[in-house]
Amino acid sequence: MGSVAIEDSRSFPKKPVPSGAWDTHHHIFEPDRFPFAEGRHFTPARASLEDLRKFEKSIEVDHVCIAHGLSYGPDCRSLLYYLEQFRGQARGICVLDPETVSDELLDEYHEAGVRSVRLDFFRHKAMDNVQLQTELVEATATRLARWGRPGWSIQIQQPHLEFWPRLRDVVDRCPVPVVVDHFALIAGSSYRANDHTTNIQDNSYLAEGERIGLAALCETLRNGNLWIKLSAPYRCSNLAPGYDDLCWLVRCFVDANPRRVVWGSDWPHTQRHKDRAGKSSTSEEAFLQIDDKAWIESLSRWMSEDEWKLLWVENPATLYDYHE
């Protein structure tokens, strides 16, 4: 893939969040109600259901897709409880062990509104191992295919662009869609330079192997079985609140396939992985302070009206099998 440049990062007018919008990635942490799991990789502060409702109202989002917090492990009782509070107006992303989960439990999850499985690469020590990632995706896909219901997907998060030439083949033949979080964790130029000034509006700062990986990722998007979440820009850029060094990357994804991108807040904005290194996993971790409204306005200037509505309304409803 050659250098992809954006001549005008503000080429579209700012736009409001459209009616019927979805937030496809956020968490609820109420350890007083549902204790965290032993062996978790971090301990978040409290972020209640009431707090979530206030946040979504503040950004004018109508529907939510709750991502089960990895700090709870595969025990999804909290997810089922929170989905019940939304009375059919929400969707959920669970965590499970594909080798041991029963058909009866999957039936229960589906009835509750769960439509995706979040793979915990941390717990399986697969974050930096493409072979383990491949095995986990394939095992989970086999389990879901055998279950045989429509509308389910697999959600992953991994930081290696160079893995995508191999992951492309896995995703393309997967019997269910695969969703990758947080811009596929592709670092913007400011994040790569570890400063707050560098704003390169193309992929020229990526290494050759990373550009090959980006081309494979975008090809997989075009093929249609891969989805990208435009979520948690602070995990990929230091240029808050607008994150302008991600503009070229957004356009790269949208140009590849505007029907395979969705928006997620990642509320309540847990710490970045690199800032968590060396800290106790059982000490309570404060949340980041993120200006979500400024980020949404910035993003809106990088997309057309049609692309904007697809991102917020039509694409998530399709991905998460939601019908009014």
Each residue of 87-103: pLDDT tens digit? 889 999 999 987 788 88
Question: Is residue 299 situated within a structural domain?
Answer: yes
Question: Is residue 12 situated within a structural domain?
Answer: no
Residue 275 banded pLDDT, cuts 50, 70, 90:
confident
In which domain, by residue range, is 257 found?
22-320
Question: Is residue 136 situated within a structural domain?
Answer: yes
* Residue-level pLDDT at 284: 94
* Residue-level pLDDT at 5: 43
Question: Is residue 8 situated within a structural domain?
Answer: no
Residues 41-65, mean pLDDT to the nearest whole number: 97
Question: Is residue 6 situated within a structural domain?
Answer: no
Q: How many domains does the chain have?
A: 1
Question: Is residue 104 situated within a structural domain?
Answer: yes
Question: Is residue 276 situated within a structural domain?
Answer: yes
What CATH number should be reported for the domain holding residue 173?
Answer: 3.20.20.140
Residue 1 banded pLDDT, cuts 50, 70, 90:
very low
Residue 147 banded pLDDT, cuts 50, 70, 90:
low
* Residue-level pLDDT at 145: 83
Each residue of 156-204: pLDDT tens digit? 999 999 999 999 999 999 999 999 999 999 999 999 999 999 999 999 9
* Residue-level pLDDT at 273: 82
Residue 274 banded pLDDT, cuts 50, 70, 90:
confident
* Residue-level pLDDT at 2: 43
**Secondary structure in 3-state letters for the chain:** CCCCCCCCCCCCCCCCCCCCCEEEEECCECCCCCCCCCCCCCEECCECHHHHHHHHHHCCCCEEEEECCHHHCCCCHHHHHHHHHCCCCEEEEECCCCCCCCHHHHHHHHHHCEEEEECCCCCCCCCCCHHHHHHHHHHHHHHHHHHCCCCCEEEECCCCHHHHHHHHHHHHCCCCCEEECHHHHCCCHHHHHCCCCCCCCCCCCCCHHHHHHHHHHHHHHHHCCEEEEEECHHHCCCCCCCCHHHHHHHHHHHHHCHHHEEEECCECCCCCHHHHCCCCCCCEECCCCCCHHHHHHHHHCCCCHHHHHHHHHHHHHHHCCCCC
Each residue of 108-123: pLDDT tens digit? 999 999 999 999 898 8
Each residue of 121-130: pLDDT tens digit? 988 999 999 9
* Residue-level pLDDT at 150: 66
Question: Is residue 17 situated within a structural domain?
Answer: no
